[in-house]
Amino acid sequence: MHLFTTLSFAAVLCTVHGAPSIRSPTLVVQGNAADIELPPHTVPGTCPIDTISCQRKDVDPCCSPQNGLLVLAQQWDTRWGPSDEFTVHGLWPDTCQGKQLPGGGCDRDRAYSNITDILASSNDPDIISDMNSLWPSNKGDNNWFWSHEWVKHGTCVTTLHPRCYANSYVPYQEVTEYFRSILDLRAKYNVYAALNASGIVPTEPESGRRPKNTYTLAQFKQAIRDAWGVEPNVKCRGRQLQEVWLWFQVRGRDTYYPVEPWGQDTCQRISYQRKST
């Protein structure tokens, strides 16, 4: 299973007030046996638009993500976020065989710990407010959470490596693009709206020995299938809903489309409680 936000941030990070400079023009993809150094990509406009991730091995990793099976994890925490929205846990690239990538991420040179500063200095004026609302940490430290997600997962999105921008690269632009693209993906695949369309709505907290205000796993899965044609993975702690995972492959560099799940469900009866926010 993927790690939750309570785990330690083990990657090597830069200082909060100064991110490391961008160095090598080559991309190193970490694998189980050895790191593979790939040649520089200098003509981003030549990428084919119809390449499907995980279908070919001879594609430039700037044109199609090499870690081409991805999980969008949306959280339901009754203490955080708008009352009618799931919030983001992360977008997690996996290998095409469904294996997790190294826990420390894929690029130590871009292991930034000052993500809030980077986003605040970007040309996206709304991103900080959007992130605070829709990507909050359940531990109350948003910068730590966002930095953890960037280091462990964002650095493994090969299409966002600085070399993929060739001469047009602006320092840290891939960081903003990573987070904004995930916010956009969450908006497109709005789990709350999909569940609501099938009559699945948050209920009052459970009470009594045999609470009746729960849903079945099959109901959740059918609601998502009705919305997008695939099933999710649904994660619970005990009965209480925690997360809904949607799995994706990628067409071209960054067009995500949902696929059937590769993970495990951890729910049977689901307590989908109203938020206190």
pLDDT, tens digit (0-9, with 9 covering 90-100), for 167-209: 899 999 999 999 999 999 999 999 999 999 999 999 987 665 5
Q: Which residues are catalytic?
A: 89, 149, 153
Whether the pTM exceeds 0.85: the reply is no
pLDDT at 159 over 90: yes
The pLDDT value recorded for residue 27 is: 41
The pLDDT value recorded for residue 57 is: 85
pLDDT at 98 over 70: yes
CA pair distance 90, 150, nearest whole angstrom:
9
The pLDDT value recorded for residue 205 is: 73
The arithmetic mean of pLDDT across residues 163-170, rounded, is 90
The arithmetic mean of pLDDT across residues 30-58, rounded, is 64
Give residue-wise pLDDT tens across range 135-144. Answer: 999 998 999 9
The arithmetic mean of pLDDT across residues 99-127, rounded, is 96
Closest to 202 in 3D by CA, of 211, 215, 190, 189: 215
The arithmetic mean of pLDDT across residues 9-16, rounded, is 32
pLDDT at 43 over 80: no
The arithmetic mean of pLDDT across residues 14-30, rounded, is 36
CB 116, CB 143: distance < 8 Å: yes
| Parallel/antiparallel/unpaired status of strands 36-38 and 69-75 | unpaired
Band the pLDDT of 277: cuts 50, 70, 90.
confident
CA pair distance 71, 93, nearest whole angstrom:
7
The pLDDT value recorded for residue 177 is: 98
pLDDT at 35 over 80: no
Closest to 274 in 3D by CA, of 199, 205, 194, 195: 205
Q: Is residue 157 helix, strand or coil?
A: coil
Question: For 234, phi and psi rounded to 5 degrees?
Answer: -120, 130
Q: Is residue 18 helix, strand or coil?
A: strand
CA pair distance 202, 98, nearest whole angstrom:
31
The pLDDT value recorded for residue 34 is: 33
Residue 206 makes CB contacts below 8 A (sequence gap 6+) with 213, 214, 239, 271, 273
Task: Identify the sign of the CA torsion 58, 60, 66, 71.
Answer: negative
User: What are the b/e assignments for 9-40, b being 16+ CB within 10 Å?
Assistant: eebebbeeeebeeeeeeebebbeeeeeeebee
Mean pLDDT of all residues belonging to the chain:
85
Closest to 256 in 3D by CA, of 150, 174, 159, 128: 159
